[in-house]
Amino acid sequence: MDRTSGAAAAAESQARPGPTDLELVERIRHGDQPALDLLYARYSSPVYSLVWKVLQNAEEAEDVALDVFWQIWRQADRYDPARGAPPAWIFTLARSRAIDRLRARNRREDRTISFDDPAVHLDPLDEAASPDEVVSFRQNRDAVRAAMTKLSAVQREAVELAFLKGLTHVEIAERLGQPLGTVKTRIRQGLIRLRKHLD
């Protein structure tokens, strides 16, 4: 959503009958839920469009757009009319949250972790752990590593992305260029095989 689109949305909202955006924000300050509903009806579509342009991901855009209105509900008292009209404030919040989500996604994707990576530290025990605890934990860790070798390459990749990199199923599907159902099946089958070998 560029400035032209934002101005158009503002002009459209002012042309509508009913309370102005400024009146709605003031009502939201006092906990008026219907006022938030009206503001959402006016701006949910342009906010979603702006967020989607940043993220290029429909599911994430929907989450962030909802977060924007939740933030408006919680922080309406922070709105300062002297710094711009309500649409400018709303679109600034949307852009900021979208960029934050994009940066968080990029940080996750920058991590390259594998069970076979010698740099991966899978031993969280502190120095106070007893020798028996250390031995038991490392035996379990080694058992998991051995069980991972029993998975097919595609199952192993999906499991590592999910549990070592912390990606969601949707993110894994996008990363691998595979249907979401395929990714879920690979993870489920991989976990079943792991459980079988660990048992």
Q: Which domain holds residue 101?
A: 3-110
* Mean pLDDT for the chain overall: 79
Name the residue with higher pLDDT: 154 or 14.
154
Instruction: List pLDDT tens digits, range 23-82.
Output: 999 999 999 999 999 999 999 999 999 999 888 888 889 989 999 999 999 999 999 988
Structure tokens at 43: 């701006």
Same domain, 92 and 145: no
**3-state SS string over 49-74?**
HHHHHHHCCHHHHHHHHHHHHHHHHH
Question: Structurally, how many domains does the chain consist of?
Answer: 2
Domain co-membership, 17 together with 82? yes
- Measured between alpha carbons, how far is residue 184 from residues 39, 155, 179 in Å? 37, 10, 9
Same domain, 51 and 106: yes
pTM beyond 0.75: the answer is no
* pLDDT, average across residues 170-178: 86
Do 14 and 103 sit in the same domain of this protein?
A: yes
Let me know if residue 191 belongs to a domain: yes
CATH value at residue 79: 1.10.1740.10
